[in-house]
Chain A
């Protein structure tokens, strides 16, 4: 941050609403995206993230609301009047054209006043940038998925658009290539400093690439923030369970006489919470296996359960613990030497436990805020 122009609202969506028939695709969406920012729209399929992107692109018009790009009201302007470029999930290369013609297409059809030599130079420049110079004479069908992806990126880059829009551009690549392209794409965006709106359902992509993330669900924006804000301070149980792998454990708790009750444990002396029914959320990495029940540190809560299954991930382990009918997951660096069905104690710090309202799903407070037994 702090760079020039970085704090200006470059793309602005104001109260955007969009219906398809009776289905509400986007509801009251407000967004401000800064110049040079890599912005991710994250959410499950059907949450309205792609529709939001298409509204920015001009491929859909909102039923109400306004879209501004670089201070200009583009709400009802055609895509070609907006100076945006888009990368599609299926790459959408023109199958009858060579790679060169595909990349040159945005230049040749606009009356840009460029000569053939200039177009040639520009195409070669982006082709070199993306390492596809030797493919220029080929047809899209002669390319691998990763190569097609690069051509699509080159086509979106060639005319220095104001905004780069990407609709799940990596989801058709195999896992290895996806990880590689993730880093490359981020580097490219940081080098070229183009405002980028990136749609994905993959939280890892959003967390690793984006400067800021908007988490969407059912057409509305639930939370906007930096990856660490989204991860560490989820404002809603939806965000908490959507982000993180495995996601946050959510326990349905009840409150009776200043005691939080759950099947495997009780938390005493809790004062200052207004609702009786809430969710207690604990991230798997904040749960520890307790070896000695007598050596529990201050502010730690202990849960008793039975080992359900242990999933090794190489460098770490996901320990599934069954508490009554509920399974909670703990992420540990070492595998507990326990078998399925054996008794186990887990502990977590009250500092790392989140409380969400059970009706609205909204974040209320951390457990530490109401925990009195701090000694």
Chain B
């Protein structure tokens, strides 16, 4: 009996150390950037960032926010537009598609779902050139400008987000007892009524979680922003932060302050809604 208790204790301690180790590992870059942003650059170079800050200075933040060279406000605004559109469109379409995948039987259903899962494994880098060419072709054929356009990049993120969101929603919807949709059908509801009045309201935690993850994903993207946004007035925040880095000289203090500012919105969202993040991840992985 005694031995058993001790054994449990030791595994506990081991797991705790492991978890704490990972947590420290994950959070340390953030702390590093934060310290770099509030300490004088000279001190970081001489003593490193891992120390108790005696001499906090907000000068980096002031410079980044006020210097007309760096237009972070515009970047914020553009990012908000792109991330909002890039969240709302795929959320709606994916929820509707997932509803179909969950509740309907149709030919090639498994194959189609397999294709959607396959899309999840495709790296962005692999498709970026065909996508770029596609956008050029669309512009040539229909005269709709999608490259160097906030709408264009939003649509790109939407398309990219749909596949994982379908997967996410399908799992989430399958947690809802089938008898509920059956009851709604017998009560006289059409499929759209069931979707809008039963399934979607029940899935609100999932909708919020999915939106948050998609939103932060789009917000944090730099890769597409680098390729598809050309003129500086279209730059999103991540692209704007990159601008702080000079071609021949990097002011790490300024760059860090910019990064922290860029991160603020996702961080605030996370702190406000973190229970939904957890719910979302749970909904994603566990089937009741």
- Which A residues have a C-beta under 8 Å from some C-beta of B? 54, 57-59, 78-80, 84-86, 88-90, 92-96, 105-106, 109-110, 155, 165
Contact = CB atoms under 8 A, between A and B. Distances in A.
A84 B186 contact: yes
B201 interface: yes
A-B interface, 5 closest residue pairs, ranked by CB to CB distance from nearest: A92-B183, A92-B179, A80-B188, A106-B187, A88-B179
B251 interface: no
A84 B183 CA distance: 11
A139 to B, nearest CB: 12
A96 B202 contact: yes
Secondary structure at the B interface, as helix, strand, loop or mixed, is helix
A94 B198 contact: yes
Interface of B: 177, 179-180, 182-190, 193, 197-198, 201-202, 204
Contacts of A94: 180, 183-184, 198, 202
B204 to A, nearest CB: 8
A79 B179 contact: no
B202 A78 contact: no
Contacts of A84: 186
B53 to A, nearest CB: 48
Contact of B187 (A95, A155, A165): A155
A239 B182 CA distance: 31
Contact of B189 (A57, A58, A89, A109): A109
A219 B186 CA distance: 24
Contacts of B177: 90, 92
Given A94-B198, A95-B202, A96-B202, A89 B184 contact: no
Given A106-B188, A109-B188, A86 B183 contact: yes
Given A109-B188, A110-B188, A88 B183 contact: yes
Contact of A92 (B180, B193, B197, B204): B180
Given A94-B198, A95-B202, A109-B193, A88 B182 contact: yes
Contacts of B204: 96
A93 to B, nearest CB: 8
A69 to B, nearest CB: 13
Contacts of B183: 86, 88, 92-94, 155
